[in-house]
Homo-oligomer: A and B are copies of this chain.
């Protein structure tokens, strides 16, 4: 199965992982997905719903998207049922450009995370297209990733540095982004009120 066709290239892909619990509750959250020499690996942090679900049901779908709003919502919100469609009972995202369903095998436990090896079961490509590079889109992704980490950082100087970086990303979104990217930044702001710096820029 050529996962490049479905959008997973070498390196770390930022995708939205969909999973389900043993009782069938779906979940969506961004993850970094490592592709290296034909191997697929994910590192999942302890306490995350994605990890809990994989321990229970041993499957994960990697949903490939270029929708900045969807990415931010998956990071900070609970997606409602109408975001999902079911493939043989497993939740995937309706609006994903593609998704790949994997079987997950436990490799090792680390201090803060678990490592899994993934084996592809099936893939579906929903929307092929062409899209020019947009720095605003890229800045939303960076800001969202920073924002998910912000909560676990203790060091005040590091927190300050992160805020400064998010300020820079918000400026790039204002300058280079389209409506979708600006909406995504507003959602990010709503969901992460701790980032005062974003509110200053967006509301200012």
Contact = CB atoms under 8 A, between A and B. Distances in A.
Contacts of A134: 9, 11-14
Interface of A: 5-15, 32-33, 35, 62, 64-66, 71, 97-98, 125, 127-136, 138, 141-142, 145, 175-179, 181
B130 A176 contact: no
Nearest to A181: B11
Number of identical monomers bound together in the oligomeric complex: 2
Nearest to A165: B168
Given A14-B135, A138-B142, 7 more contacts: A5-B130, A9-B131, A11-B136, A12-B136, A64-B131, A71-B133, A128-B129
A128 B125 contact: no
Nearest to A179: B10
A138 B141 contact: yes
Among A6, A132, A136, chain B packs the most CB atoms within 10 A around the CB of A132
15 contacts: A9-B134, A11-B176, A12-B134, A12-B176, A13-B134, A14-B135, A33-B132, A62-B132, A64-B130, A64-B131, A64-B132, A71-B133, A127-B130, A129-B129, A135-B141
